[in-house]
Structure 1
């Protein structure tokens, strides 16, 4: 065996030297691709690629994400910025850092994200590996043409020793996924469908009960909201401006957002971990701000090889009173160029909005939202936020809790005009509930009033996914596709609407594209069901240029 494969620390040292040398020289690979981006084809025993990188002529929307799901053996989710992302929490690990047992959502979450490029994709990710797993995984990734762009630490004095390993590939996303799956098979990373443990923790390593932190106070200090994920409060802060690497724009959902994570440690305290994403001129001011507030800088390094502008990632750690630490993190945020803050409750911004309903009182509607009907019947359907232990994020969802006699051609809306949306992307997670006449639902957008808007909806009773416009209370079908999805599971409906062109997605797969100018003005956004369909909704996300 090669001596480096017996000593991970020595291999890491040599790998970092090699990465640094390649960056300093400013040279890409001989084929003109991005530095570190090797053809993502599994290799034969002779060491030759079995597939070549695709050309750049095919539209990006042709990507078959279902095939990538199958290749990786997991189900990904569509994220803002045309990113398809897989989360792989290391809930099998029991890691202690500075006396704190680390939850996967704080610092032990492996991930892999794809963004279309030509008729292939660029893949980036971060794998959480133990000392024993590291060398085997690197060797398998290299064999399959998936490169490494950074190897480093996120935590102070963690036990057992962990290596956070950033990966990069470009080409056929199925081949990349197959290689990563083969590498993950050499680790103890749990399958996505891992059952809950006897300790009462869910598969991603967090408790299903509400988090024991004053998240509202944290939000006020930071000036922005976050979400509860597996027992950890997570706040993501995108950078202002455009980041490019490997010939694509790299959005926040692909690892370029500052991550501020809070794990409760009792008595209002929290362990914090994550990373600031900075340009060179911001590094020293952020270090000074964190140190002045008792927050330890764990590491400063790069994650990519050819990004513009050049970015530095600073990992941090502290365990103290949560709101006090939030003030320290805010001091750091004030020294970097961040995109405008968004809110889980609504309000117009120039970039994005997200509602996960976890900071809304159960039994009420989110602030600025209203319940209405097109072609009313019955006593008016009842909408409210309610608890759901299986919510995709946090523990609350927005649901039609009682149809109250709604039937026939009645459409039930919960929507807000606090956002003026015209062009961009709208997505929502939906789970079907009861309903004899109808089930399912989806998002509405460009809502002028209760009688004029667009809809994309999934219906498990009819096994179809359809796009409609509603004008003066009359619904007209624009497109339809046959689907067969389990009604009891969460599914993601997403729509890109720019000008008169509409592209609709279901669970990350492009279903159809069409044009329609029925409702061309900016309007509100919301969710929709028909007749007696009592469905639940979560993670309403709006990205784009508001029609102001």
Structure 2
């Protein structure tokens, strides 16, 4: 019996273009999720991506990135129908192998070269908030964290205005502020280099209460796990 997995988007009014309680299906192993777009730098490239079986993932399957590229270029997968500025997002990730095993959650993406990234690195044992502009990454904040290799973990972020509140495996690890302009954008997943990275259980909820953090703040807070 073939399993079928969903990236569940709990979308509530606000800036999201998806209907309320929409569900994004990953489909069946050996395929690509219907409607997704896949980018390598500023070029469309779905070659490294596929849906695979993984009994430890939500619903038994995951979206896998697997490549041999060692140049450090970013690869992004996203559903173009989901857009938001203020939101909560949750994703499972598994950093299986690679020279520098890493993965991440893409937020507020306006183009393949412009987005916010919550990056997790097993090599550095670090979680970072990165603002990418014209393809150039700038780390806003980061914290040492227990990022495992070849084990499922859960990353959560709550974004309101300039504020990012981030949790790992149900435990708060970092609050950071981005002083750049708040913008609506897509939500997706990210990997790089010669990694093998799996993602599952992506949930997105748009905030519609109009409450924002102080955009003038630039402080960060975090803890070593």
CA distance in 2, matches of 1:519, 1:451: 16
CA distance in 2, matches of 1:354, 1:463: 32
Do 2:94 and 2:150's aligned partners in 1 also have CA atoms closer than 8 Å?
yes
Gapped regions of structure 1 (runs ≥ 5) = 1-208, 216-225, 228-235, 239-338, 341-345
1:457-468 superposed matches below 5 A? 457-468=119-130
| Partner residue, 1:483 | 145
Do 2:125 and 2:146's aligned partners in 1 also have CA atoms closer than 8 Å?
yes
Gapped regions of structure 2 (runs ≥ 5) = 209-225
Higher helix proportion: 1
SS in 2 for 1:488: coil
Q: TM-score, normalised by structure 1?
A: 0.34
1:424 Cα deviation from its structure 2 partner: 1.4
Q: TM-score, normalised by structure 2?
A: 0.79
Do 2:2 and 2:28's aligned partners in 1 also have CA atoms closer than 8 Å?
no
| Partner residue, 2:63 | 398
Aligned residues: 202
| Partner residue, 1:414 | 77
Do 1:415 and 1:526's aligned partners in 2 also have CA atoms closer than 8 Å?
yes
Do 1:424 and 1:498's aligned partners in 2 also have CA atoms closer than 8 Å?
yes
Higher strand proportion: 2
1:375 Cα deviation from its structure 2 partner: 6.9
Do 2:25 and 2:33's aligned partners in 1 also have CA atoms closer than 8 Å?
no
1:360-509 superposed matches below 5 A? 360-374=27-41, 382-391=48-57, 393-400=58-65, 402-403=66-67, 405-436=68-99, 438-509=100-171
1:353 Cα deviation from its structure 2 partner: 5.1
1:380 Cα deviation from its structure 2 partner: 7.0
- Could you list the structure 1 runs, at least 4 aligned residues long, displaced by more than 3 angstroms after superposition: 352-356
- Could you say which structure has the larger radius of gyration? 1
1:354 Cα deviation from its structure 2 partner: 5.1
CA distance in 2, matches of 1:517, 1:416: 26
1:518 Cα deviation from its structure 2 partner: 3.3
SS in 2 for 1:394: helix
1:506–1:355 Cα change, 3 Å: farther
1:333-352 superposed matches below 5 A? 348-350=18-20, 352=21
CA shift digits 1:352-379 (9 cap, x unpaired): 555462xx13222212211102277xx8
Name the structure, 1 or 2, with higher relative contact order (CA <8 Å, separation 6+).
Answer: 2
1:536–1:528 Cα change, 3 Å: same
Alignment RMSD (CA, Å): 2.9
CA distance in 1, matches of 2:39, 2:50: 13
CA distance in 2, matches of 1:390, 1:475: 32
1:354–1:501 Cα change, 3 Å: farther
1:442–1:434 Cα change, 3 Å: same
1:399 Cα deviation from its structure 2 partner: 0.7
